[in-house]
Amino acid sequence: MKHMTETIRIGAPARARKNFRPATILLGDGLAGNPAFVKNVLAMESYELLRAHTEGQLFEILNSAPVDLIILPSSGSSFPGLDCCRRIKSDRKTELLPVLVVTDGEVESQIEALSAGADDFLPQPVHRELAQTRIRALLRQKSATDRLEQTEAILFTLAKAVEHRDKTTGSHCDRLGLLSLAVGLEIGLAEDDLEALYRGGYLHDIGKVGIPDQILFKPGPLDEEEWKMMRTHPERGEEICKPLRSIERVLPIIRSHHERWDGSGYPDGLKGTEIPLLARVLQVADIYDALTNPRPYKKALTAAEALELMQQETARGWRDPELMRIFMNLHPGSLDMNAWRDAREMQDSLRNLEAHLLQSQSLRESAT
């Protein structure tokens, strides 16, 4: 590996099993300089050890190699362990990596380590069996997180495949993510909900993967049977995404993005505020984007024409009137990316997360 640090493999040789990759532990300098810790605590297992002598090296390694556990000193060394811990835990790309902090024996420093975001701590003098048990537990946790991330990456890939299958929608999901985030920010949604909205932008129509091409791309109007099939896509999408707990906040968006305020929508005929708020937000953005972009069977409306049509639909009882009022006030037609900087930053941050999911999957594949 091209790090300015040494990589050593310790412990028993890795089992000669296909695709077996020993867990990689990244040590902060204060511990790497302590041969007894490595010898007594880690050498009983088969691990790959990476040593970072500075904060810069630590983050350089995190950006270039799959790491399963980070062990940092909290005090008694020149290495800024707690600062690194805070930085790791405040970055979406690294927040799920388990961090173990070696503290002194004082309760205050243990509290300090946990407050900095550490997943666990090891009081000194280090008890070998306790340390090994905690390390194994954190590695099990990391392994479970990896499996979730891989499943999530596969789902997003599938959602993109659905979008690319329909060549007429262009970058609909990207635009939808931005529009939804802007509305979400305007109504003061919490960060978890904003993240769900962004993900919903990609995943809301994932159920269309089960709709035959001759229905999905039919140039003319659908007959009754075809409509019946098309209307199953929210429930199909929910079924696909249901097993993944990490995106459970997105499920109401997937299921309810075709409901109408007056109860005439599908699949459940929900009315008014029975319709989950996030689904209502995504729906407004979805309809606006669909109206203002061309399709083979229709030309794009101008922003003013689209908003006029959406107001007519609101007057008919189809849309949430308060949400429509907020959407109109955002002037989506004169979308100024600078004015919507918060939304753009949130979108960039989530894009980075998505890129990280795919990158960590490919790093992992190349390491096995």
- 186 vs 313 by CB, closer to Fe ion: 313
- 167 in catalytic set: no
Q: Could you list the beta-strand ranges (E) of the chain.
A: 7-10, 23-28, 47-52, 69-73, 99-103, 120-123
Q: Smallest gap, in angstroms, from Cβ of residue 336 to Fe ion?
A: 28
Q: Smallest gap, in angstroms, from Cβ of residue 68 to Fe ion?
A: 39
Determine if the peptide bond prior to 267 is cis (ω within 30°).
Answer: yes
**Stretch binding Fe ion (CB under 5 A), from 176-184, 205-213, 298-306, 332-340:** 205-213
Q: Which one of 112, 205, 259, 320 is in contact with Fe ion (CB under 5 A)?
A: 205
Per CB under 5 A, which of residues 175..194 are in contact with Fe ion? none
Burial class (CB in 10 A: 0-12, 13-18, 19+), 34: middle
Should residue 259 be labelled a site residue for Fe ion when binding is judged by CB under 5 A?
A: no
Going by C-alpha positions, the residue among 269, 281, 278, 266 that lies closest to residue 319 is: 281
- 5 vs 169 by CB, closer to Fe ion: 169
**Stretch binding Fe ion (CB under 5 A), from 140-148, 159-167, 201-209, 287-295:** 201-209
| Residues, the chain | 368
> How far apart are the C-alpha atoms of 287 and 295, rounded to whole Å?
13
Provide the β-strand partners of residue 166.
none
Q: Smallest gap, in angstroms, from Cβ of residue 203 to Fe ion?
A: 11
Task: Name the residue whose CB lies closest to Fe ion.
Answer: 205
* All residues at 6 or more sequence positions from 26 whose CB lies less than 8 Å from its CB, including other chains: 49, 50, 51, 52, 58, 61, 62, 67, 69, 70, 71
Q: By rule CB under 5 A, what count of residues binds Fe ion?
A: 1
Of 39, 208, 228, 299, which is the active-site residue? Answer: 208
Going by C-alpha positions, the residue among 303, 299, 249 that lies closest to residue 277 is: 249
- 205 vs 354 by CB, closer to Fe ion: 205
- 82 vs 211 by CB, closer to Fe ion: 211
Residues noted as catalytic? 208
Residues forming contacts to Fe ion in the complex (CB under 5 A) are 205
